Each structure stands twice: as C-alpha cells, then as structure tokens.
Amino acid sequence: MRILLVDDEAELADPLSRLLRHQGYSVDVTYDGNHGELLAQQGGYDLLILDWMLPGQSGLTICEGLRLNGDSTPVLFLTARDTVDDRVQGLDSGADDYLVKPFELRELLARVRALLRRPITLEQPRLQVDDLTLDRSNQVAYRQGRLIDLSEKEYQLLEYFMRQPGQLLSHEQIQQHLWPTKEGNEPPASNVLAAQVRLLRRKIEGAGEVSLIHTVYGKGYRFGPTKLE
C-alpha cells in the first residue's frame, strides 16, 4: 500500500513516516503543498495524509482539486484546527477522515487501516470536455462523430489534460506526468513535450473544430474550449 504524507512539520512527518513504513506501508513524504499537489495528481497512492496548513497549496485546496478531477483516493486530514466548522469544511472539501493534532499514534494507525479497507470507487470510464469524449477503457477519443486513435503517450497526455480542464498546467507538471523522473534517468529535452502536444492537437482539433489545447507562453498549457488569460 502506497501512502503520500504531506506535512510541513518535519518533527512530526519524519517519525510518522518511519512508523508507517515499520507497519509495512510504502511512504512518500513532502513538506510543501505545491510538491504534494503534484505528487497527488500523478496518482498511484492508496491513501493521502494531508496537513491542512501548508506552504504553497493548502491541504484543503489539494483535496478539493483532486475531487473536482474525479480522483477518489482516500484523504485523511491532520490539523490543529479543531472547531466544528473546521471539521465540516474539511469533510465538505472531500476528505474522508479528520484527525486533530495532537493525536495518539494508535488512533492514527487505526484510521489508516480503516480507510485502506474501504472499497475503491471505480473511476468513470469516460471523460468529457466540450464535444470531446475520451473512452478510458479502450484508450480512444471521439469528437463530432469521428473516432480518434491515440498512441500511448497521446492518451496519457489527453487524459491528464481532461482531468484538469481550465487549469494552467506547467511544462514541468506535464513532463513529470508523462516521463516520471527516476534515479539515473535524464528528463527529455524541452522540445519533446512541445512535439507531443503538436501531435495530439492534429488529432483532436480538426478543421472547423474549436481549439482545446491553449499554449500559455513561458508557462505551460490550458485545456478547454475557452482560452483564459
């Protein structure tokens, strides 16, 4: 089981990650909300443990963004915010559980076990943005009645775009999603991503069709029928 722990208090996060590893879990740790959001978006985790207040993106913002994009990965909040209104806000953001600091480690482990026992919600087999539909089961797309065959990388890129319509996705975020950095591996040249986007554009944006992939110069790309400045 893979767990992502995002907490800017190293004196809590480090021993907690060691405890979870001792229990047999695979744990990734980050102390920054922006990095935590990037790791969470890449997926592959069975549980997210998020502090509420973080540098960069807050845990609340990370959770809300994941739920808006259809990500049902269980989320456990760790926070010092202990009012009823805080609990309601956290749960309404899409969190599955809420634990107030300070807490007993036995209780945290029990909540982790309970969340990991929950049945996984099946993801929607299709994604839709404007008149473009992505059939995730068969890795093909449809637009205005035409079938669009996709290569593996084109499918990965399109799915990533369609999960986050209207969001500015940086070059670094997209590259890390398509070509995850591993020890000993060099990231692709900067023009490789641009070439991949051009190939996808040619397939999904035919003559007379609304542009869906918008370049935000110097920053990245935004996906959707309307270009936002």
Single residue among 117, 141, 174 that ends a domain in this structure = 117
Co-location of 92 and 8 in the same domain: yes
**Does residue 41 lie in a domain region?**
yes
pTM of the predicted protein model: 0.53
pLDDT given for residue 213 in this prediction = 95
Q: What is the 3-state secondary structure (H, E, C) of 188-203?
A: CCHHHHHHHHHHHHHH
The total of structural domains in the chain comes to: 2
The C-alpha atoms of residue 181 and residue 194 are separated, in whole angstroms, by: 18
Co-location of 94 and 69 in the same domain: yes
Single residue among 95, 117, 139 that ends a domain in this structure = 117
The C-alpha atoms of residue 26 and residue 71 are separated, in whole angstroms, by: 20
pLDDT given for residue 220 in this prediction = 92
pLDDT given for residue 228 in this prediction = 54
DSSP 46-73: SEEEEESS-SSS-HHHHHHHHHHTT---
**Does residue 100 lie in a domain region?**
yes
Co-location of 147 and 47 in the same domain: no
**Does residue 228 lie in a domain region?**
no
Which class for 99: exposed (0-12), middle (13-18), buried (19 or more C-beta within 10 A)?
middle
Calculate the CA 226 to chain-centre distance: 22
Single residue among 93, 117, 141 that ends a domain in this structure = 117
Helices within 143-228 (DSSP H only): 152-163, 171-178, 190-204
The C-alpha atoms of residue 23 and residue 48 are separated, in whole angstroms, by: 16
**Strands (DSSP E) found in 10-46:** 26-30
Co-location of 166 and 187 in the same domain: yes
> Dihedral sign, CA of 100, 54, 77, 83?
positive
Residue 134, domain extent:
126-223
**pLDDT averages per 10-residue partition of the chain, 229 residues:** 90 91 91 91 87 88 84 87 74 84 88 81 71 86 90 93 88 86 64 94 92 93 77
Cis peptide before 102 (omega within 30 of 0): yes
Burial pattern 27-53, b for ≥16 Cβ within 10 A else e, equals bebbbebeebbbbbbeeebbbbbbbbe
